[in-house]
Amino acid sequence: MLEKHSSWYVILIAVSAGVAGLMYGFDTAVISGAIGFLAEKYSLSPAMQGWVISCVMIGGVLGVALSGFLSDKYGRKNIMFLSAILFIISALGSAFAIGVPMLIFARIIGGFGIGFASALSVTYISECAPPKIRGRLGSLYQLFTIFGICATFYINYGVANSGSYAWGLDTGWRWMLGYGVFPGLIFFVLLFFIPESPRFLMQKGREKEAFQTLKRINGETVAKQEAKEIKISIETEKSSSVRQLLKPGIRKAMGVGIFLALFNQVIGMNAVTYYGPDIFRSVGFENNTEFLATSIIGSVQVAFTIVALLLIDKLGRKKLMAIGSSLMAMFMVLIGSVFYFEPIHSGPLLVVFVAGFTAAFCVSMGPIPWIMIPEIFPNHLRAKAVGIATMFLWGANWAIGQFTPILITNMGGAFTFWMFAVINVVCFTFVMTIVPETKNKTLEEIGRFWNPKSVSKEQILKKNLTKI
């Protein structure tokens, strides 16, 4: 149990870094409100709508690709500062865009910022959090992401109702995008109150600074033991070359990390987030009620992400992902059925099914990949490995943003959502067969599990894997 004086410090660290999720959540949701106005104003085709939405992922992929190398050189905290600055610039550029090319350029800049933050925020929290509450603290990134999404849905709804449709077409979408300045500023200010990652400081030979941070987090006794383990880990594995990720053992960890990153995106949640108003409009919602329906889904996201926060260190990562993916498959079948049978008369039913899918996502494949990806890699490779895994996450995010409108337009809603149901079945299978349990383990213990030369590998395996 954490001492009272240290628990508040740990929470401050995790909350400050987790607020990066506000930027990711805002950007994920805001475009769903603006895209309808943009499509009409600039006569965008379905493919071009997809590009306006997904272009931010290009910057995101490049951002996460560089995040590991830059943070290993300049520190986690400094690169997170850079991410906040880029996001603020992007919000202003989007709000004052004089055409689609400028809007796309501004969104790509924002993608760099979100890419840096999405990889480094969860890495930073994992490197600072005590093992027994690391899951809950790591969930804060996803919780703030959901707060950002939910708040942005209501912002979009409020802006849409602030003037006539003609006003929204000319000016309203600019206000929607411009509000992104606020999550960027909040993140920037909070970063002044947190230390650099103790594991990064150890890698740079700044052992006294690292120990002082560990002491404030865990108390002196635990800090001494943890500092010793980190030092041994760093000295055992000197090389942090990307080629090390292809070594036996670590290669398997990389595979698990990429799997978690991909399935965080391709199971269908972002299709709902990006195109929620359009989806609800297609089943009869009108007069801005489509924005209200999307806002209700955002509220469900917040409520069940909080549920995940309470359960993740008790039930474990693996069990929650297995339960969640099976429920998501069922709800995707039901959502597809609404479109197959009588979509125009099934609006309320669709809201119920989307809410059920959203709840299952938010207690499983929503927060858990963000927690587990930085957990499973050794200290010397963590930043680079997380960056590579998150590249796959952003690449999948881009594909969902780009191709969802094309799929719905050409193949229909039923086929699109049944396809997501099949993907969720695949996700369940992979969770059951290749994903280990990591709750209540130190990062050094998890790192030793992947080392094929480790004497205790079999023992750690028995402790980590849980039966469903």
Domains of the chain with bracketed CATH: 4-194+237-464 (1.20.1250.20)
pLDDT for position 92: 96
Of the candidates 343, 351, 338, which has an alpha carbon nearest to the alpha carbon of residue 417? 338
* Span 96-143, pLDDT tens digits: 999 999 999 999 999 999 989 887 887 888 778 777 777 777 778 878
* Span 19-57, pLDDT tens digits: 998 998 898 778 878 888 898 899 888 888 888 888 888
The rounded distance, in Å, linking the Cα atoms of 214 and 197 is 9
Structure token digits, residue 48: 């071009």
Beta carbons of 118 and 99 less than 8 angstroms apart: no
* Span 377-417, pLDDT tens digits: 776 677 778 778 878 887 887 888 778 878 888 888 788 89
Q: What percent of the chain has pLDDT over 90?
A: 22
Q: What predicted TM-score, i.e. pTM, was given to this entire model?
A: 0.71
- DSSP-derived 3-state class of residue 191: helix
pLDDT over 50 (residue 181): yes
The DSSP element (H or E) to which 448 belongs, if any, is: helix 443-449
pLDDT over 70 (residue 451): no
Beta carbons of 35 and 279 less than 8 angstroms apart: no
| Interacting residues of 239 by C-beta distance below 8 A, sequence separation 6+ | 380
Q: pLDDT band for 213, please (50, 70, 90 cuts).
A: confident
Write down the mean pLDDT value for the chain: 82
pLDDT over 80 (residue 72): yes
Q: pLDDT band for 146, please (50, 70, 90 cuts).
A: confident
Q: Please name the residue that has the structure tokens 């004497």.
A: 455
**DSSP state for residue 343 in the 8-state scheme:** G
